[in-house]
Amino acid sequence: MLLLIFFAFLAGVVTILSPCILPVLPIVLSSSINAGKKRPLGIVTGFVLSFTFFTLFLATLVKLTGISADVLRMLSVIVIFIFGLSLLTPRVQVLLEQLFSKLSNRLPLQKKREGFWGGILIGISLGLLWTPCVGPILASVISLVISSAGNPNESFLPSFQFLKNTLPITFAYALGTGIPMLAITYGGRKLFTQVPWLLKKTARIQQVFGLIMMVTAIGIYFNIDRKFQTWFITTFPNYGVGLTKFEEAGKIKTELEKLQQKPVVKKDLGKPMFNLLEDNVGLAPEIIPGGEWFNPSASSGQVPSASSGQVPSASSGQVPSASSGQVPSASSGQVPSASSRQVSTPLTIRSLRGKVVIVDFWTYTCINCQRTLPYLKNWYAKYKDKGLVIIGVHAPEFEFEKNPVNVAQAIKDFGLTYPIVQDNNFATWKAYNNNAWPAKYFIDKNGKIRWSHFGEGAYDESEQLIQKLLGEMGQQVDEPINNPKYSTFDETRETYLGYDRLQFLVSPETVQPDKIASYSIPQDLLKSRFAYGGMWMIGGQYASPEPGAKIELHFVSKEVYLVMRPKAKPGQVKLLLDGQLLSNDAAGKDIKTGLVLVDSDKLYTLINLKQPGDHILTLEFLDNSLEVYAFTFG
- Mean pLDDT of the region 425-443: 90
* Gyration radius of the chain's alpha carbons: 32
CB 557 within 8 A of CB 605: no
pLDDT by residue (tens digit) across 546-555?
Answer: 999 999 999 9
Q: Which pLDDT value is given to residue 314?
A: 32
Residue 340: pLDDT band with limits 50, 70, 90: very low
User: 197 exposed, middle or buried (CB, 10 Å; 0-12, 13-18, 19+)?
Assistant: exposed
Q: Which pLDDT value is given to residue 622?
A: 96
Q: Rounded to 5, what percent of the chain is helix, strand, coil?
A: 45, 20, 35
High-pLDDT (> 90) share of the chain, %? 37
Looking at residue 554, what DSSP letter applies? E
CB 364 within 8 A of CB 406: yes
Count the Cβ atoms, other than its own, within 10 Å of residue 410. 27
- Of 279-283, 358-362, 434-438, the least confident: 279-283
Quick one: CATH architecture of 293-472? 3-Layer(aba) Sandwich (3.40)
Ranges of beta strands (E only) in 385-438 are 388-394, 420-422
What angle do helix axes 160-194 and 2-14 make, rounded to 10 degrees?
30
- Mean pLDDT comparison of 255-269, 271-285, 522-536, highest-scoring range: 522-536
Query: What gap in Å lies between CA 174 and CA 152, rounded to an integer?
Result: 28
Q: Which pLDDT value is given to residue 248?
A: 52
pLDDT by residue (tens digit) across 200-232?
Answer: 666 677 777 778 778 877 877 777 766 776 676
Q: Which pLDDT value is given to residue 617?
A: 97
Look at residue 473 and give its three-state secondary structure: coil
Looking at residue 358, what DSSP letter applies? E
Alpha helices in 108-158 (DSSP H): 109-114, 116-129, 136-149
**pLDDT for 58 beyond 70:** no
Single-letter amino acid, residue 227: K
- Mean pLDDT of the region 262-277: 48
- Mean pLDDT of the region 422-434: 90
Looking at residue 389, what DSSP letter applies? E
User: 261 exposed, middle or buried (CB, 10 Å; 0-12, 13-18, 19+)?
Assistant: exposed
pLDDT by residue (tens digit) across 126-168?
Answer: 776 665 554 544 555 555 554 444 444 444 455 666 677 677 7
Q: Which pLDDT value is given to residue 383?
A: 95
- Mean pLDDT comparison of 99-113, 484-498, 618-632, highest-scoring range: 618-632
Single-letter amino acid, residue 299: S
What contacts 24+ positions apart, CB below 8 Å, involve 259-263? 259/4, 259/140, 259/141, 259/144, 259/165, 260/140, 260/143, 260/144, 261/143, 261/144, 261/147, 262/143, 262/147
What is the fold, at CATH topology level, of the domain defined by 495-633?
Jelly Rolls (2.60.120)
Looking at residue 275, what DSSP letter applies? G
Handedness of CA 259, 260, 265, 271 (dihedral sign): negative
Torsion, Cα 62 276 470 439, to 10 degrees, reads -60
Residue 274: pLDDT band with limits 50, 70, 90: very low
Q: Which residue from 550, 591, 595, 545 is spatially nearest to 566, judged by alpha carbons?
A: 545
Q: Where are the domains of the chain?
A: 2-15+38-275, 293-472, 495-633
pLDDT by residue (tens digit) across 277-316?
Answer: 444 446 788 999 888 999 876 655 433 333 333 333 333 3
Query: What gap in Å lies between CA 492 and CA 561, rounded to an integer?
Result: 12
Handedness of CA 225, 227, 233, 236 (dihedral sign): negative
Q: Which pLDDT value is given to residue 199?
A: 61
What angle do helix axes 136-149 and 160-194 make, rounded to 10 degrees?
130
**pLDDT for 632 beyond 80:** yes
Q: Which residue from 141, 160, 145, 169 is spatially nearest to 1, judged by alpha carbons?
A: 169
- Of 48-62, 253-267, 433-447, 613-627, the least confident: 253-267
CB 35 within 8 A of CB 111: no
High-pLDDT (> 70) share of the chain, %? 63
Query: What gap in Å lies between CA 401 and CA 317, rounded to an integer?
Result: 26
- Mean pLDDT of the region 577-589: 94
Count the Cβ atoms, other than its own, within 10 Å of residue 428. 24
